[in-house]
Amino acid sequence: QVTLKESGPALVKPTQTLTVTCTFSGFSLNTSGMRVSWIRQPPGKALEWLARIDWDDDKLYSTSLKTRLTISKDTSKNQVVLTITNTDPVDTATYYCARWSARGGAMDVWGQGTTVTVSS
């Protein structure tokens, strides 16, 4: 059974760096073709794709946010970490991680999400 679970701080002050962690089970990021993405959703708004990391450590970032994002993996811990620098209240959102399926490039299994508020 594939599961993913996000964790991170509930509150971050503006300009600080936000770090969210995705801990997964049921698959390995050492396996060829495996990928994990991060997606966020501000309250009452649409989904926004943020970043993806591949089994071979290739990375892809949102065009609009790439200067502020860093994605990394720790395969020994089955974790993927996303950092967002220089946070702003507009970064307030629920942050989801999801497994990226090779079929159609869809995100087929999602975590429950972790809610982060950026406020002073």
Site for another protein in 82-101 (CB under 8 A): 96, 98, 101
Select the residue interacting with another protein from 32, 63, 67, 120 (CB under 8 A).
63
Residue 80 is a binding residue for another protein (CB under 8 A): no
Instruction: Work out whether 104 is an interface residue with another protein (CB under 8 A).
Output: yes
Question: Which one, 4 or 81, has the nearer CB to another protein?
Answer: 4
Could you write out the three-class secondary structure of the chain? CCEEEEECCCEECCCCCEEEEEEEECCCCCCCCCEEEEEEECCCCCCEEEEEEECCCCEEECCCCCCCEEEEEECCCCEEEEEECCCCHHHCEEEEEEEECCCCCCEEEECCCEEEEECC
According to the binding rule CB under 8 A, does residue 23 interact with another protein?
no
Scanning 8-16, 21-29, 56-64, 82-90 for contacts with another protein by CB under 8 A, the matching segment is: 56-64
> What is the contact surface with another protein in residues (CB under 8 A)?
37, 39, 46-49, 52, 60-64, 96, 98, 101, 103-108, 110-113
